């Protein structure tokens, strides 16, 4: 229909230009025919239309030439033909640009990733096939809609912060949670790119995304599995430490009973020795507090709680772990030496998980020295600040050690040298340390034993105290 209308328009212009004598260049109207033809003709056809319009203009001049041709009429005719030629050239250029844009758009449609563009007010201008597939909204539904209303976007990062970064740097990357047409949520990593107009003002935003919902689910499942394995390992350690814990709790309880009997005797004395009773009650209160601390430490160690990221003193935490394992050390005749760095050594992470690593290393060291009778049973724990951002913790024992050939297998799950071990302790310990941004390594100790060393990121300590704490537990 458009082609027919265009041909009819050309015929009308030809008739008017041929029959009617006007003071204007009627042939100039052929540019309308060229512009109309550009809507449906291919480049070669458009050239033929342009040439045809020039030809019609010449034919009109030839059929009815001016009676008295003047310079003005000749110039008008030349302007008409030049206009037709110029408009034809511009139309060809526009067709080429449109074709290029269509090809680029078709390439974007081949992408499986969602790609769409929107104005600064959020209204969608382009919506590719990948966006249709992921979100379930057809192009006709999406075009003109406000993107974040259509997708019910949940911003992990505040939108004000996103727009500030976008306007300042011209791009932004991050995670968003969008909602599909069927109501299900999808997590995407997205990149926004800002386009500015000729005046330098923000005009368009191109948004490309990747669906990472499955990866996020796998990461959550992996984190849950890691948490469950860590809890299992704590329970296994608890089984190995049951006797030690019982001994640790029994001491203050026995002291409470002894002091209570003593207090009763002094109350029954004639006259009652009230000062002795007061001292006995004070000791009872202190022993009760000690028992409560032991129970609290054990409960914190073996409870199923999510990681608690906080700042804490590494040296103090090692001291608590040493106190928990002290009965085990004493029962096996192991001397624990502590060589700590100067002052407060602040690290960031989950205190209980790092204490679990320390307890694992201490228990392993004690077990490795069970069969040692020809040399002292010593376990030395050192802490040091390597540089402004790294702390090292080293456990050095004089036990049986390990074969250097087995070094690569020490941290593999289910590899163990213990008769009743299951081989998860060191594997989980390394996982915990790496989750905190550190490394756990092992090396033989010369001449006997093993060295286990791990690192943790530190935070600047607000204070320092003098001297190196080098002490021996009795």
Three-class SS state of 429: helix
pTM summary value: 0.42
- Asked whether the CA dihedral 91, 93, 96, 97 is positive or negative, the reply is negative
Q: What pLDDT score does 307 carry?
A: 62
β-bridge partners, 190: 174, 209
What is residue 335's predicted lDDT score, i.e. its pLDDT?
A: 92
Of 230 and 338, more confident = 338
The answer on pLDDT for 288 being more than 60 is: yes
Phi, psi (rounded to 5 degrees) for 124: -75, 130
Residue 149 has pLDDT above 70, yes or no: yes
230 versus 119: which is more confidently predicted? 119
User: Quick one: pLDDT at residue 66?
Assistant: 63
Compare 416 and 173 and report the one with higher pLDDT. Answer: 173
Give the model's confidence band at 469: pLDDT under 50 very low, under 70 low, under 90 confident, else very high.
very low
The pLDDT value given to residue 150: 93
Residue 395 clears pLDDT 90, i.e. is over it: yes
- Both structure tokens of 140: 């006709």
Position 21 scores a pLDDT of 60
Q: Which of 13-22, 194-203, 375-384, 439-448 has the lowest mean pLDDT?
A: 13-22
| Chain segment 66-82, per-residue pLDDT in tens | 666 667 667 777 877 88
Q: Is the pLDDT of residue 463 over 50?
A: no
Q: How confident is the model at residue 123 (pLDDT cuts 50, 70, 90)?
A: very high
Range of 227-231, 335-339, 413-417 with top mean pLDDT = 335-339
Arithmetic mean of pLDDT, 308-322: 85
Q: What is the pLDDT of residues 334-372, one digit of tens each?
A: 999 989 888 778 888 888 788 878 888 888 888 888 888
What is the pLDDT of the chain when averaged over all its residues? 79
Distances (CA, A) of 62 to 24, 68, 69, 109, 471: 17, 14, 12, 53, 118
**What is the per-residue pLDDT for 276?**
86
Query: Which CA distances in Å does 110 have to 114, 126, 151, 180?
Result: 10, 14, 22, 20
Percent pLDDT > 90 in the chain is 15
Span 243-254, mean pLDDT? 63
Tell me, rounded to whole angstroms, the distance of Cα 414 from its chain centroid.
Answer: 30
CA distance 243 to 266: 34
**How much is the pLDDT for 352?**
78
Closest among 334, 389, 325, 385 to 357, alpha carbons compared: 325
More confident position, 108 or 83: 83
By three-state DSSP, how is residue 332 classified?
A: coil
Average pLDDT in the 454-460 region?
A: 82
What would the two tokens of residue 289 be?
């507090």
Mean pLDDT along residues 91-96:
82
**In this predicted structure, what is the pLDDT of residue 421?**
54
- Higher pLDDT residue, 58 or 102? 58
pLDDT at 25: 66
- Amino acid 462: pLDDT: 44
Return all residues near 205 (Cβ < 8 A) that are at least 6 apart: 117, 118, 119, 120, 166, 192, 193, 194, 195
- What is the predicted pLDDT for the residue at 214? 85
- Higher-confidence residue of 117 and 295: namely 117
**Dist CA 400 CA 374 (whole Å):** 12
Question: Is the pLDDT reported for residue 103 higher than 70?
Answer: no
**Which is higher by pLDDT, 151 or 245?**
151
pLDDT level of residue 10 (50, 70, 90 thresholds): confident
Q: Could you give the CA distance from residue 49 to residue 35 in angstroms, rounded to a whole number?
A: 10
Q: How confident is the model at residue 452 (pLDDT cuts 50, 70, 90)?
A: very high
421: Cβ–Cβ under 8 A, 6 or more apart, which residues?
A: none
The answer to whether 34 and 60 have CB atoms below 8 angstroms apart is: no
What is the distance between the alpha carbons of residues 138 and 122, in angstroms, rounded to a whole number? 17
Q: What average pLDDT does the segment 399-420 reach? A: 69
Q: Cα–Cα distances in Å, from 237 out to 356, 359, 370, 399?
A: 9, 8, 17, 19
């Amino acid at each position: 229909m458009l082609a027919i209308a265009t041909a009819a328009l050309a015929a009308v212009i030809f008739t008017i230009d041929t029959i009617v004598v006007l003071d204007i260049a009627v042939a100039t109207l052929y540019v309308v025919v060229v512009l109309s033809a550009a809507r449906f003709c291919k480049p070669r056809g458009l050239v033929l239309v342009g040439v045809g319009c020039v030809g019609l203009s010449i034919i009109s001049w030839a059929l009815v030439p001016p009676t008295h041709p003047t310079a003005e009429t000749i110039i008008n005719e030349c302007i008409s033909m030049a206009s037709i030629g110029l408009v034809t050239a511009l139309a060809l250029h526009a067709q080429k640009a449109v074709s290029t844009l269509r090809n680029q758009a078709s390439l974007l449609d081949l992408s499986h990733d969602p790609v769409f563009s929107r104005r600064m007010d959020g209204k969608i201008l382009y919506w590719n096939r990948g966006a249709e597939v992921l979100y379930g909204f057809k192009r006709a539904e999406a075009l003109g809609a406000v993107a974040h209303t259509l997708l019910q976007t949940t911003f992990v990062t505040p939108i004000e912060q996103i727009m500030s970064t976008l306007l300042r740097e011209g791009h932004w990357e991050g995670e968003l949670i969008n909602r599909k047409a069927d109501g299900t949520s999808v997590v995407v990593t997205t990149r926004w790119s800002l386009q500015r107009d000729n005046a330098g003002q923000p005009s368009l935003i191109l948004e490309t995304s990747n669906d990472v919902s499955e990866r996020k689910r796998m990461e959550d499942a992996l984190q849950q599995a890691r948490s469950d394995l860590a809890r299992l390992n704590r329970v296994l350690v608890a089984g190995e430490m049951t006797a030690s814990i019982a001994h640790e709790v029994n001491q203050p309880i026995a002291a409470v009973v002894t002091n209570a009997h003593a207090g009763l005797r002094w109350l029954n004395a004639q006259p009652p020795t009230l000062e002795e009773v007061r001292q006995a009650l004070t000791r009872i209160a202190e022993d009760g507090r000690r028992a409560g601390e032991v129970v609290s430490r054990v409960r914190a160690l073996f409870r199923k709680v999510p990681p608690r990221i906080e700042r804490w003193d590494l040296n103090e935490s090692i001291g608590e772990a040493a106190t928990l394992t002290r009965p085990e050390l004493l029962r096996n005749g192991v001397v624990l030496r502590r060589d700590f760095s100067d002052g407060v050594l602040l690290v960031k992470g989950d205190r209980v998980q790092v204490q679990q690593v320390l307890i694992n290393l201490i228990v392993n060291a004690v077990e490795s020295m069970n069969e040692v009778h020809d040399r002292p049973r010593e376990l030395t724990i050192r802490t040091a600040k390597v540089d402004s951002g790294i702390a090292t913790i080293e456990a050095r024992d004089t036990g049986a050690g390990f074969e250097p050939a087995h070094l690569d297998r020490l941290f593999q799950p289910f590899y163990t040298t213990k008769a009743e071990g299951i081989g998860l302790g060191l594997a989980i310990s390394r996982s915990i340390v790496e989750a905190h941004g550190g490394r756990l390594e092992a090396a033989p100790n010369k001449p006997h034993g093993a060295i286990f060393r791990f690192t943790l990121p530190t935070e600047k300590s607000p204070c320092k105290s003098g001297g190196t704490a080098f002490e021996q537990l009795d």
